[in-house]
């Protein structure tokens, strides 16, 4: 489980990190928490859709809760 580890990364570095996490997810479950929508878009662009599950919470907490499972 990782919480907003990409917050200081530019898009190129975040994409590389997401790809590394996707590779690691072939051996263990990865859960990434973020409240940054662009992290979700990057994950959807660079991770195999069969490896990626995105959860969004509704209501007031929505801006804070974006869970990406790989």
- For residue 48, the enclosing domain spans 2-69
- Flag whether pLDDT at 67 surpasses 90: no
Is residue 9 within 8 Å of residue 39, measured between CB atoms? Answer: no
- Please state the rounded mean pLDDT for residues 45-56: 91
- Reference 54, options 27, 63, 65; nearest CA is 65
pTM of the model as a whole: 0.81
The residue behind tokens 């929505």 is 62
- Please state the rounded mean pLDDT for residues 6-10: 93
Q: How many domains is the chain partitioned into structurally? A: 1
Task: Please tell me the distance from the alpha carbon of residue 66 to that of residue 47, in angstroms, as a whole number.
Answer: 16
């Amino acid at each position: 489980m990782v919480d907003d580890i990409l917050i200081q990364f530019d898009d190129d570095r975040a994409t590389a990190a997401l790809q590394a996490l996707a590779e690691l997810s072939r051996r263990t479950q990865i859960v990434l928490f973020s409240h940054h929508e662009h992290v979700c878009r990057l994950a959807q662009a660079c991770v195999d859709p069969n490896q990626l599950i995105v959860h969004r919470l509704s209501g007031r907490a929505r801006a804070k809760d974006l869970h990406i499972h790989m």
